Structure 1
Amino acid sequence: TLARWTDRDLGMVPPSVFIPIAEERGIIGPLSQLVLRKATEAARNWPKDLFLSFNLSPSQLVDQNTGLHILAILDRTGFDPRRLEIEITETGLMTDPASAEKIVEDLRR
């Protein structure tokens, strides 16, 4: 899943610009949930052998509810969780290893 932003006045705003702003403003969680919901709604009608990959930002790995939010979106959209690949950077894991481990365990279960 690749988030893209096209602004009427600014044109294309790259993720390298808007993702850090969303993290600074504390809205990366809701933004990611919106993107994941839209992506799973679109992907649930793909052929069953295709997967959806989704990146988590390091700040999301500090939020203990991230895993639960993802699972709720999967449930609400009817997307098969076995077809979702969550991508986590090494930096994200090292920001708060205990929190990241809990989120990964929530998702694994």
Structure 2
Amino acid sequence: MAANNESGALQPITELARNSRAHGALCHCDAAQAAGRIPLDVRDLGVDLMTIVGHKMYAPKGIAALYVRDGTALEPLVHGGGQEDGLRPAPRTPPSPSRSARPHNRSDFVS
């Protein structure tokens, strides 16, 4: 977790990623609370994986992005179809990703 949503504490992600790599482990950063609030550059942070979520930036719930560093091998949790390079067993819902593609104003979600 890059930033704690309750205390506001920022974690030393660069140091944690460096330590993880030194011990042969991958480093995943949950940047849900940090994205759009503090600078996040995966190259500077040195993480292997980073997750951001759309609903923290006024996108519909269920929209998220996963950064995967080149060369990082992933294994599917559920086997099935070959979508998403064999990592997803079913196609995504077409309207959901397209909704997050257009910029939203806060007024879009307030009646």
* Bin of the TM-score, shorter chain as denominator length: 0.3 to 0.5
Q: Which of these two proteins has the greater Rg computed from alpha carbons? A: 2
TM-score (norm 1): 0.39
Structure with bigger helix share is 1
TM-score normalized by the length of structure 2: 0.39
Higher RCO, 1 vs 2 (CA within 8 Å, ≥6 residues apart)? 1
